[in-house]
Structure 1
Amino acid sequence: MTAPSPVERLKEALRALEAEIDAELDQSRDRLRYRIERGRIRFDREVLARHRAAKVRLREFLGAARPMVILTAPVIYSLILPFALLDLFVSLYQAICFPVYGIAKVRRADHIAFDRQHLAYLNGLQKLNCVYCGYCNGLISFVREVAGRTEQYWCPIKHARRMAGRHEQYGDFVAYGDAEGFREGSEGLRERLKAGRE
């Protein structure tokens, strides 16, 4: 058995750090006294009462907002159209092309979450904002994963220069300029996509 490569050791260290983060989030959940039951978030009664008491009413919330913030809101919300179109086209692309390529599909539910609107300390506008931000950022995560799997299938080659915000698959890509590695490694990377492993 061969020793793990430096990249594999770093990926294992990253997985260990992610497990630590998950454990910390579990402790935070206990400290904030909520639990998830059958997909629903449940707060203890006294915590829920404190949340309701902390809510800033819509009139107060809008009264405290700077006028320019209110005037720019339509610009923010106008982005829902291109985001919805992006969602539609990427979902269609994945539904049509991934089965042909043999790539495991990306689950939208792993990326897009709607749960913040259930927080009792948010007013209606804040809840709407949270739904909007959760959708848009989750959609970008979903699109990034679809694009990352597509890149792994078609062109798993690292760039010559360092790139910010690389997707999870990028670390396994073949080094820039390594023609033999590309020829030898591409098929293995494609096979990993069939099983849904990044």
Structure 2
Amino acid sequence: MTSRIDQILARIDALHDELEEEIGRRRDAFHYRLEKNRVRFESERLRQQRALRMRWRTFLARANPWHILTAPLIYGLIVPFALLDLCVSLYQAICFRAYGIPRVKRRDHIRIDRHHLAYLNVIQKANCVYCGYCNGLLSYVTEIASRTEAFWCPIKHAARIAQPHRRYPQFTDYGDAEGYQDGLEASRRDVTRGDR
């Protein structure tokens, strides 16, 4: 890997840390804290949130009819999402052990906590649980897939891809036949150690 790529990755990591610090400051502004991964709001803030909650009947009365009509299609996807969750979890439980790759922790990706917000009604809470699960699941699957790709095929694509995973910049360049074998071995070492 080139030192220029290392420098860019270090800047990205620093920006990510800066973003997390800013999110932490926002916690203070909205008067909540995390205790053992549980959200705790100050009682006055909780009272204010409850006062701003829209009743579910009002919410439905104001809803766009297309939103209501398409809801079964959206929620029907829970079956393939749950099946994906089961299959990918089973895959990594078996294959990652065989390859010596550390397993991905679901709890690091799937966060379901927005339903605790007092300003959401029951429908909004259900939507937030669903979205938190589905988007967290896709993050979990992406991490498993990125570790698999780093182990088996750490080669960049010829064309640009929109949102590459975090290991992608360290892959060998497309067309680098001389560097491929060393790059593959280095990538396997990194992923089995749990590095990047």
TM-score (norm 1): 0.97
RMSD: 0.8
Contact 1:102 1:194 in 2 (8 A): yes
* Structure 2 unaligned spans of 5+: none
Name the residue aligned to 1:105.
103
Name the residue aligned to 2:3.
5
Displacement over 3 Å in runs of 4+: none
Name the residue aligned to 2:13.
15
Sequence identity percentage: 54
The CA distance in 1 between the partners of 2:27 and 2:57, in whole Å, is 31
1:155-198 CA-to-partner distances (Å, cap 9, x unmatched) read 00000010111111101000000011111111111011112112
The CA distance in 1 between the partners of 2:84 and 2:145, in whole Å, is 12
Contact 1:56 1:121 in 2 (8 A): yes
Contact 1:105 1:196 in 2 (8 A): no
- 1:58 counterpart (24, 39, 56): 56
1:11-67 CA-to-partner distances (Å, cap 9, x unmatched) read 100111011101101110011110111221111111000000000000000000011
Name the residue aligned to 1:88.
86
Name the residue aligned to 2:134.
136
The answer to whether residue 157 in structure 2 is matched with residue 162 in structure 1 is no
The answer to whether residue 186 in structure 2 is matched with residue 188 in structure 1 is yes
The CA distance in 2 between the partners of 1:165 and 1:98, in whole Å, is 24
Helix, strand or coil for the counterpart of 2:73? helix
The CA distance in 2 between the partners of 1:162 and 1:40, in whole Å, is 40
Name the residue aligned to 2:22.
24
The CA distance in 2 between the partners of 1:95 and 1:121, in whole Å, is 39
